[in-house]
Chain A
């Protein structure tokens, strides 16, 4: 990742740009600068977790364990095409209009 200045100990400006691109969020120059500084502060604080030994601890996500939950496979009333399209910012006839792919 190249050399990092002291203020960029955890994440560099280039990494911020890269991750923001992965998240599909375009950042202004000002945001890049601000986020790099803030992320370094926040990640320094998050790194506190490294103090803990979690080798033997399982990652459990739920407080009450649930096994598979099933419901009857019966047809319910779906949204009509009109309802589904109602909130689309761009539509043409009965379709959503997406950005150009090719």
Chain B
């Protein structure tokens, strides 16, 4: 018999609301898994055990009293540690924010609580979400639950690893250039990056505002759909949110894929793509075809320029966003008497930030500085326009685009960390989506030597329903791809 932790979250919530399952029991089973496994996986930075149990018991009391419970009644959720949680330390996996306790909740966290979800803890990540492997965390790397010598992907590595290892049924990540989809792919779970503006960024600690979105990670598509339904919708505290009605994506699920036109993107399956990834993707496309979709090919030559454009924009925005860390109002402050203003800032920032964060701040400062602005930043933004136009054009012909999520299977810890450019190159298939502001989902689509591989479906703006429908149809047709890692 499957363990309680394997019960889909949407089903658990239903049972809890109906009084057939105690929230306390459901939440406890994840806390027990954590105790057993997280010493090895290290998915969490902070676990709020007592508070989670207290919230679970409150849910059980409400059920007993006959109250109407929310869509996530008693469901524990792991939250990436760059999303503010009132009263719970939020570190961004940085020494700079090691002791930062936000006095407020991010909008997404408020929305979880309003649906009676239970916050389980805060997950590990690359420092300030800058990375592809969760190795730049000040607290040490998260391990891939499928193979503890491999990276879980990043930057939301803890969120994806927690879900894969059954240490949370649902988690929130953030995706600036692939940070939800990459770890979802490497850990063999479902991760969705929403349309820019669909989900409020209020309370998300900023890295690159024009690119990032908070999004759901789950073990199955229906759970992913449920979590997205809860967090999506306009928020007056984030003026970039779109005025779309918050609703449910569940209505989009079910049925076959007749009428779907799916375009395999040639440029994202180029020479650098691992043969096992290409093969898995072809089988994935074959499955969609069996489900009624029409599969075609599409060439988008401009995508060759997506990676440098992405990094220039992300680093530039980072240099501006991270200027706020001066060690005065919050955060790390270097000890030192008699240092002048500028010097004290410089020493504080030098000790408070890790190597990759400093690299990006300095390069971003360079790309924005006089004489280089036109050549780097402005140019990159213009290239982003071209990429967006090119995708818009392709969506006149295709309902979805298809590409690998990652060009390679999960690599070894330490394998790429000393070569920044080599690590950046791993984001080649995910960054175009952020530059275009469109939604995309990563779905488990195969294994190579016991390591998960992911397929990436990309939709036009607000096409989340389409993504979830296709992912769920695939999941039903290929359940063998949605497996648990053999962790014991």
Residues of A within 8 A of B (CB): 11, 15-16, 19-28, 31, 35, 38-39, 41-43, 45-46, 48-52, 54, 57-64, 66, 69, 71, 79, 83-84, 86-90, 96-101
What does the 1/0 interface line of B472-484 toward A look like (CB < 8 Å)? Answer: 0000000000000
Q: Which residues of B contact A38 (CB under 8 A)?
A: 359, 420-421
Beyond A25-B353, A41-B421, is A64–B461 a contact (Cβ under 8 Å)?
A: yes
Known: A52-B383, A59-B381, A86-B101. A100 touches B338 (CB 8 A): yes
Q: Does B248 contact A (CB under 8 A)?
A: no
Q: Which residues of B contact A83 (CB under 8 A)?
A: 103
Interface mask (B53-73 → A, CB under 8 Å = 1, otherwise 0):
000000000000000000000
Complex partner residue of B363 from A39, A49, A86, A101, CB under 8 angstroms: A39
Contact B369 A22 (CB under 8 A): yes
Q: By the criterion CB–CB under 8 Å, are A87 and B330 in contact?
A: yes
* A89-B383 contact given A19-B365, A25-B346, A63-B436, CB 8 Å threshold: no
Complex Cα distance, B437 from A66, in Å, reads 13
CA distance A64 to B45 in the complex (A): 35
**Min C-beta distance of A43 to chain B, whole Å:** 8
Whether B382 and A57, one on each chain, are in contact in the complex, defined by CB atoms closer than 8 angstroms, is yes
For A79, the chain B residues whose CB sits under 8 A away are 103-104
What residue in chain B is nearest A98 (Cβ atoms)? Answer: B328
With a cutoff of 8 Å between Cβ atoms, the chain A residues found around residue B239 in the complex are: 66, 69
B420 to A42, Cβ gap below 8 A? yes
A35 to chain B: closest CB distance in Å? 7
| Interface membership of B260, Cβ < 8 A | no
B469: interface (CB < 8 Å): no
> What residue in chain A is nearest B339 (Cβ atoms)?
A99
Q: Is the CB of A26 within 8 A of B385?
A: no
Given contacts A46-B312, A71-B236, A96-B328, contact A101 B341 (CB under 8 A): yes
Cα distance A11–B424 in the bound complex, in angstroms: 20
B311 contacts the other chain (Cβ, under 8 Å)?
yes
- Residues in B whose Cβ lies below 8 Å from that of A41: 420-421
Contact A26 B366 (CB under 8 A): no
